[in-house]
C-alpha cells in the first residue's frame, strides 16, 4: 500500500524495489501520483505499470483542472502549474480515468477520508471517529496527510470517544482482524512526520495484519531534479527533513 508519490521518481523506485523483496502480491496506490516533484510522467507510467489499484488524489485532480486550487499553498499552486505545462497527454489521460475511492478485497480505499475522499485530512481521533462511522468496510485505507498513522475502535462500539490512534514508526505491526480501523501508510514522495525516508504499508489480507515500512532513497537526487525544473526551492529543501 502506497500513497502520495508526488512526482518523486527516486522515492517511488526505491519503494517498488523494497516491495519486490517483500511477499506482496499487489501494489495499491491511494493517489497523488503528481504534485511537488519533478518527474510526473515517469511516476505515472510506473504506477500504470505496477499498481493493481490506483486512486486519484487532490493534486492529480488539480493538474487536470478538475479542482479549485484556491486552498493550495503557493508552492503547491506553483507545482500544479508547472506539472500542467510539462505532463504528457498519456499522463493526464491516465489520471482522468481514476477515482478517489474504491473497495478492494474487503478494504475501503480513500485518497483522503471516508467522509470526503478528496480533501479531508484525518489527523485527530474525532475525525477518525467520523470516518469510521462513514465507511462501509471495517478497515479503511487513507492517504493525503503524508503521515504514517492508524486509528482503531473496538468491535461493537457505538459510543463516541472509543477510538484511539497514533503515528506509526518503521516496523510497527498491527493485528487488524477485529474492530474498526483507518490506516495511513504515510507518503512515498514527501513524508511529513520528521522521517525523510519513503513510507509504505504492507497488508496481509489473509492474516489481517498490517506492517509499516520506511525505505531510504536518494533524497539529494530528488531535490536536484526539483531545482533543475525551476520549482520552488522549498520543495527540494523539505525532503531532507521529512517536513
In a domain, 3, yes or no: no
SS3 of residue 198 by DSSP = strand
CB proximity list for 69: less than 8 A, separation 6 or greater:
62, 76, 77, 80
In a domain, 104, yes or no: yes
Task: Give the pLDDT of the chain (243 residues) as one tens digit per residue.
Answer: 999 999 999 999 999 999 999 989 999 999 999 999 999 999 999 999 999 999 999 999 999 999 999 989 999 999 999 999 999 999 999 999 999 999 999 999 999 999 999 999 999 999 999 999 999 999 999 999 999 999 999 987 766 678 999 999 999 999 999 999 999 999 999 999 999 999 999 999 999 999 999 999 999 999 999 999 999 999 999 999 998
The reply to whether 177 falls in a domain is: yes
Specify the CATH number for the domain of residue 82: 3.60.21.10
Name the grid cell of 202: 504492507
Half-sphere exposure of 48 (CA within 13 A, CB side): 16
Residue 172 lies in a domain: yes
- The rounded distance, in Å, linking the Cα atoms of 90 and 88 is 5
Can you give the pTM of this predicted structure?
0.95
Total structural domains in the chain?
1
Q: How far apart are CA 213 and CA 200, in angstroms?
A: 5
| Per-residue pLDDT, 158 | 62
| In contact, 203 and 210? CB cutoff 8 Å | yes
Residue 1 falls inside a structural domain: no
Q: Which three cell numbers stand for residue 43?
A: 511516476
Classify the phi-psi angles of 32: left when phi > 0, otherwise alpha if psi is within -120 to 50, otherwise beta. left
What pLDDT score does 122 carry?
Answer: 98
Whether residue 187 contacts residue 170, with contact meaning beta carbons closer than 8 Å, is answered with no
Write down the H helix ranges in 88-206. 89-96, 125-134
- Looking at residue 131, what is its pLDDT? 97
3 state DSSP class of 162: coil
* Range(s) of the domain holding residue 72: 9-240
Domain membership of residue 63 (yes or no) is yes
Which residues face 104 on adjacent strands?
Answer: 107
Establish if 169 belongs to a structural domain.
yes
* Kind of pairing between the strands at 139-142 and 180-185: parallel
What do you get for the CA distance between the two ends of the chain, in Å? 21
Amino acid at each position: 500500500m502506497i500513497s502520495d508519490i508526488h512526482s518523486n521518481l527516486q522515492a517511488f523506485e526505491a519503494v517498488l524495489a523494497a516491495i519486490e523483496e517483500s511477499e506482496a502480491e499487489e501494489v495499491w496506490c491511494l493517489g497523488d501520483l503528481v504534485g511537488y516533484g519533478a518527474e510526473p510522467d515517469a511516476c505515472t507510467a510506473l504506477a500504470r505499470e505496477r499498481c493493481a489499484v490506483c486512486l486519484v488524489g487532490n493534486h492529480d485532480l488539480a493538474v487536470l483542472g478538475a479542482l479549485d486550487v484556491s486552498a493550495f499553498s503557493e508552492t503547491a499552486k506553483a507545482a500544479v502549474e508547472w506539472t500542467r505545462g510539462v505532463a504528457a497527454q498519456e499522463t493526464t489521460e491516465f489520471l482522468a480515468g481514476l477515482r478517489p475511492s474504491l473497495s478492494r478485497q474487503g478494504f475501503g480505499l480513500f485518497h483522503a477520508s471516508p467522509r470526503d475522499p478528496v480533501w479531508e485530512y484525518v489527523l485527530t481521533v474525532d475525525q477518525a471517529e467520523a470516518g469510521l462511522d462513514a465507511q462501509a468496510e471495517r478497515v479503511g485505507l487513507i492517504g493525503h496527510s503524508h503521515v504514517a498513522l492508524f486509528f482503531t475502535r473496538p468491535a461493537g462500539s457505538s459510543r463516541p470517544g472509543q477510538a484511539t490512534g497514533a503515528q506509526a514508526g518503521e516496523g510497527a505491526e498491527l493485528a487488524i482482524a477485529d474492530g474498526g480501523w483507518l490506516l495511513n501508510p504515510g507518503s512515498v514522495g514527501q513524508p511529513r512526520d520528521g522521517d525523510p525516508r519513503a513510507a509504505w504499508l504492507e497488508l496481509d489480507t489473509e492474516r489481517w495484519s498490517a506492517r509499516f515500512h520506511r525505505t531510504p532513497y536518494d533524497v539529494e537526487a530528488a531535490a536536484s531534479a526539483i531545482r533543475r525544473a525551476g520549482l520552488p526551492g522549498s520543495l527540494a529543501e523539505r525532503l531532507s527533513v521529512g517536513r
